[in-house]
């Protein structure tokens, strides 16, 4: 995905997105859920910067009731 395409989906300019990428400007908390969904990352992956190992088709352990 290009910077421009992501910026368009987030409703910001390409320059603003470039500033986010290099850390000149922080991403607002309200934008994190949208960014997480667009990039197909969990909040942990988005905030920590490490992609977690995923098993295709599995969502994680089932809850114990």
Q: What is the pLDDT of residues 27-37, one digit of tens each?
A: 888 999 999 99
The answer to whether residue 10 sits within a structural domain is yes
Question: Which token pair is 14?
Answer: 């390409």
User: Is residue 61 domain-resident?
Assistant: no
Return the DSSP state at 25: S
Is residue 37 in some structural domain?
yes
pTM of the entire predicted model = 0.67
pLDDT tens profile 4-56:
999 999 999 999 999 998 989 998 889 999 999 998 888 888 888 777 666 66
Structural domain including 27 reads: 3-48
As a whole number of angstroms, the distance between CA 38 and CA 36 comes to 6
What's the structural domain count of the chain? 1
Is residue 56, in this structure, part of any structural domain at all?
Answer: no
CB-neighbour burial class of residue 23 (10 A; exposed 0-12, middle 13-18, buried 19+): exposed
43: number of Cβ within 10 Å: 11
Q: How far apart are the first and last CA of the chain?
A: 40
User: Are 56 and 49 within 8 A, CB to CB?
Assistant: no
Q: What is the pLDDT of residue 15?
A: 96
Q: Please report the pLDDT score of residue 59 as a whole number.
A: 60
């Amino acid at each position: 995905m290009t910077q421009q395409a992501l910026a368009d989906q987030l409703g910001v300019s390409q320059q603003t997105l470039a500033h986010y990428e290099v850390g000149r400007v922080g991403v607002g908390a309200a934008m994190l859920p949208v960014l997480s969904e667009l990039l197909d990352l969990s909040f942990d992956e988005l905030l920590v910067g490490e992609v977690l190992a995923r098993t295709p088709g599995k969502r994680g352990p089932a809850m114990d009731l």
